[in-house]
Structure 1
Amino acid sequence: MANDVTDGYDRRRVLKAVGIAGAFGLAGCVGEEPEGGDNESGGDQEPEEGGQNVVWDAGGTGGTYYPLSGEFKTIVEENTPHVLQVRSTGASVENVGNLENEEADFALIQNDVGYFAFNGTGLDEFEGNPVETLRGVATLYPETIHIITRPDAGIESLEDLEGTTVNTGDLGSGTQVNALQILDSVGLSQDDFEEQNTGFSQAGDQLQDGDIDAAFIVGGWPVGAVEELATTAEIDILNIEQEDRQTILEGAEWFAEDTIPAGTYDGIEEDVDTVSVQAMIATHEAVDDALVEDVTAAIFDNTDSISTKADFISADTALDGMSFEMHPAAAAYFDEQGSGNESSGNESENETEQ
């Protein structure tokens, strides 16, 4: 973790334009109803003796969070007495709200959204209202920014998005947060384009039907919704030029450079340069140590059972990009694994590292 998260970003207040007024007043249900409705898996199972029913919030069914959470469910249930109820949600921002309200025990979120929430900054709903009970468990893999465009839309740079119709992701989602950060970095405000807000699968349908010109999709490649779209329609993925990437990185340090390899999606025959954030597992301070230890150990002792993003998920890298205070049971597990002594995130709430 690096020492200082940029203050310049706070001054710019990129996301005051998000306009998610009263988001957490909606009982933590930020954003549009997730794809497929209130999808849940595991709700009818009963835990074994000594186990608990664990609520695990994922994301939309067309992204990476939901299928990966399904794999975590299988691993945890095979190696502990607990049962995971995996829920489809609007992802990061909504998931933070559910953790704050103790309506979920664990959730997948983006590390930047976790930083905003814990420190009470960056987003209007967090500004001055830090989610001090939020705790980190582990970081997982890069969440790559995909900017999908219609081939006939004539979009060759971020600046070309001016005057177009752009789906920036579910209202209040981490995807929308990232999209508006990136567009602001090149001088585009929400007045400069027509914004649409849906989940990944619906965005794919909009692109295929010609209803939008571009869509931001954030997830570890390959993203299922993009794979499906690429098999049924011609798409382009916008290559972010070096100068724009550098501008993005200077504005928000939680971004990192990333590349979507050629051949990841049908019709994409060259590497695509872009940026990414980190996906991570979060919990809250009221979840007891034994449960956090059980879940953390089950996942990271059995990473060979993971197929989604398997090349990235490891105890050796589970502290990279940890952007806020960790749950003590998770910190203790990784200390035992020798994953680093700087990892606990518990040194001081005022010295959170990114």
Structure 2
Amino acid sequence: MIHRILALALLLMLPTALHAENYSIGTGGQSGIYYPLGGALAKVWSEHIDDVNVKAEVTAASVENTIKVVRGDMIAGIAMGNVVLDAYKGEGKFKSAMPVNTLFALYPNLVHAISLKKSGITSLNQLKGKRISLGAPASGTAVTSAALLESMGLDIKKDIDAVYLNYSETTNALANGQIDAGFIVGGQGVGAVTQVALTHDINLIPITDEQSAAFMAQYPAYSSYTIPENVYNKVAAVPTLSVWNVLVVSATMSDEMAFNLTKAAFENMAEVRKVVKVAEATTPENAFHLKGVPLHPGAQQYFDSMAKGASAK
């Protein structure tokens, strides 16, 4: 009898974390911003939502994350807004419309078209016939870079020698002379570009006003952006394109879960910003930056409650 009482007491003393549901958040490669951002969000959610334990999962980023969220393999995924919009509409890489919502927008991703200065490549028009990294397979970078080149009239299967490499693979191949140029679509100050700029003289290839206008006419999720001077070592200010990253979730997620994820994230965003500076752009005011994809009703409830609280003061 004593043994049974002791066993029962031990069971009652077990941490509630043992009963938590295990989830993952889809990120990207470890050399980008998605991975540390996802890790910071996972930590916040695990610590501040009862019975939830979340880990960051390394993935090929936007397309893979969106698909896995819909399949139920992930609780949420970080993805570029244009990819999520394609999924919602059943366009691009998605053969049919997918039941996706967003929790909130995160920060703007910037198109980095990179070459070494010694290559002499200073214009996108010079990429024809060259060996180009378009980004990791099933990534937002690959979707964007292909769409950009095609908007200029280039056939990525015929007019360039396309390879598909992640951030660090792209900059390593560039440094080693294995490719002529490469695309990285990431936050301002993305690590892979920062690192290669410290060891090699690089060009960030400008996207001209004409090229941007032609592209945005087809893809309205994008906008113009200028990367300031010296964000990267010895690189002048350069015009490019931007698109907001978002947290994508399944439309079948419960309102309660969506509310709790959104609430915990914003109430503890200071902790996330200690890990990734770009989270300074993750604010309630910026939450609605992706037009065309519905905010999850649970997330909307959180923002509505915040607005009511503010008006009551």
Unaligned segments of structure 2, at least 5 residues: 1-14, 309-313
Flag the structure with larger Rg. 2
2:57 to 84, 87, 112: 87
How far 1:332 moved relative to its partner? Answer: 1.0
**TM-score, normalisation: structure 2:** 0.88
Instruction: Could you list the structure 1 runs, at least 4 aligned residues long, displaced by more than 6 angstroms after superposition.
Output: none
Amino acid aligned to 2:47: E
How far 1:302 moved relative to its partner? Answer: 2.2
1:108 aligns with 2:78: yes
| SS of corresponding position for 2:257 | helix
CA pair 243-110 structure 1, distance change in 2 beyond 3 A = same
**CA distance in 2 between partners of 1:168 and 1:301 (Å):** 37
Equivalence for 2:31: 62
- Is 2:79–2:246's contact at 8 Å kept on the other side of the alignment? yes
**CA distance in 2 between partners of 1:113 and 1:47 (Å):** 37
2:281 to 299, 303, 312: 312
- Is 1:121–1:130's contact at 8 Å kept on the other side of the alignment? yes
Q: What's the CA shift string for 1:162-220, capped at 9, x where partnerless?
A: 11111000122111110011111111111111101011101111000011011100111
**CA distance in 2 between partners of 1:301 and 1:242 (Å):** 39
Amino acid aligned to 2:63: V
Amino acid aligned to 2:203: D
**TM-score, normalisation: structure 1:** 0.78
**CA distance in 2 between partners of 1:47 and 1:59 (Å):** 30
- Is 1:89–1:95's contact at 8 Å kept on the other side of the alignment? yes
Equivalence for 1:250: 217
| SS of corresponding position for 2:281 | coil
How far 1:265 moved relative to its partner? Answer: 1.2
| SS of corresponding position for 2:110 | strand
How many residue pairs align between the two structures? Answer: 289
User: Which deviates more, 307-316 or 58-67?
Assistant: 307-316
1:333 aligns with 2:302: yes
1:117 to 78, 87, 90: 87
Percentage of identical aligned residues = 29
**CA distance in 1 between partners of 2:43 and 2:296 (Å):** 23
- Is 2:122–2:203's contact at 8 Å kept on the other side of the alignment? no
CA pair 167-47 structure 1, distance change in 2 beyond 3 A = farther
- What value does the CA root-mean-square deviation take over the aligned residues? 1.7
Q: How does 1:160-171 map to 2 (within 5 A)?
A: 160-171=126-137
Unaligned segments of structure 1, at least 5 residues: 1-45, 340-354
Amino acid aligned to 1:64: I
2:192 to 225, 228, 239: 225
- Is 1:76–1:83's contact at 8 Å kept on the other side of the alignment? yes
- Is 1:139–1:318's contact at 8 Å kept on the other side of the alignment? yes
